[in-house]
Amino acid sequence: MNAKPPSRPSSRGPSARPHSSSRSRAPALPPLPAGSLAEAFSVASDGLKAVLDGYALNDGLYGLWQAYPELTPAGRGAVQDLLYGSLRDFGRGTAILEVLLSSPISEKRITALLLVALYRLETRPDTAHTVVDQAVEAAARLAGGNFKGLVNGVLRNALRRWDELLPKLDAQDAALWRHPQWWVDSVRRNWPEQWQAILQANNSHPPMSLRINRRRIDPHAYRSRLTEADIAFTDLGPCAIQLAAPCPVAQLPGYAEGLVSVQDWGAQQAAGLLDLHDGLRVLDACAAPGGKTAAMLELADLHLEALELEGRRASRITEALSRLGLSADVHTVDCRDTQKWWDGTPFDRILADVPCSASGVARRHPDIKWLRRPHDIAHFATIQAEILDALWITLAPGGKMLYLTCSLFPEENGNQVARFATRHKDCVRLPFADGAFEKQLTPCPQHDGFYFALLEKSAR
């Protein structure tokens, strides 16, 4: 489960259309052509401004689609590509602006527009003239059109000085690795042999992996359906496959009928580590959006309770299970407050997919790199400890709890489990199949970054 995002934008979207006062300062302009790069720049700058204001990207996108209902599917795709790309390259873009600007720009939407345009210039240098032209066109609609000259000048200056800028960028960790300096330092310190590969993976496009619902179709039969649909894939596990190229879920055979789900291969491994079998009483303590809940129910006939703190996210669990033909008792509640939800009957298995920094899934949520602060790690660690202590009371003697994060930071992973085992003398750390007492996945072409530790409550 990822960390709770910042507050949702207002119903007008993450960054509302220009205020009437802005419109009154500029002559009326025709709307940007539908499907144009200028339109994509304008909308993407709204989304990036929302992140600059502290909103989570998912909430920002939700607000964008509400604020711009006229966008076509292709237009949404273009906006999303610009937004995700400029956030992955945020450290690089801001470093360029620091060189090219004598002082920060007062209007955040213009700063966002420049970051989006700079990302496009670096990744599509063959379209430089079009990028500058369309960015200036978008600037004419933002902030009363007062920054057209500035946008034009900054982008043309960047093109002229590109060869000069590159060495300066490569000399700065945040610009070179596209992560905040504290993040680079932490990964370098904790992963001395892998730190460069981890940071590079965080800046890549994530893979699209599927989990086949064995309760509704034989895994071999579903693979045949993909082949018939001319969708290339590779096998990851008995019910897990990775697509050669991402595609809309509507194109997946049988998706609406619940034959398959989209789930990262790392996340899929959680269910198989809990030693599940029919008849067990199981708790998924931080369950949204429901992927791991469903994966467990696909493995065995379980009496499963799923808890989630936020009602909107809890509804996603119910929707996911309904599509797959599965059911669980879903409750909107803080799992730490056991008096509100636990009836006193112990659980045989607990999945503790706790809130964390989400540092292992940053390529799916590139805003995380720039919204997180170093002190957030200690904050998450405190919440994790509170959750573990509360859930341990509800676990039956001889029962097992799988501790899980999508983090790469030891404070949330191995250090957290070690502290817990010290506090609870009835905690026994169990080895996985390879004999290791913890399992740490780092981002790679097959999966995101996850941490697992399996804990058993002593029956003595």
CA distance 98 to 102: 7
Helices marked H in 3-127 — which ranges?
20-24, 37-52, 57-67, 73-88, 90-100, 108-123
CA distances from 67 to 17, 44, 77, 256, 323 (A): 7, 12, 16, 28, 29
Residue 339 exposed, middle or buried by CB count within 10 Å (0-12, 13-18, 19+)? exposed
CA distance 111 to 117: 10
DSSP one-letter string for 366-399 = TTHHHH--HHHHHHHHHHHHHHHHHHHHHEEEEE
Peptide bond into 289 cis (omega under 30): yes
**Please, what sign has the CA dihedral across residues 169, 173, 179, 182?**
negative
* Active-site choice (286, 335, 406, 427): 406
Token representation of residue 26 = 């500029």
**Type of residue found at 44:** A
Token representation of residue 393 = 């009371």
CA distances from 409 to 5, 24, 128, 235, 416 (A): 19, 50, 39, 29, 10
CA distance 88 to 82: 10
247 labelled catalytic: no
CA distances from 210 to 275, 306, 323 (A): 22, 22, 15
Give catalytic residues, as residue numbers: 406
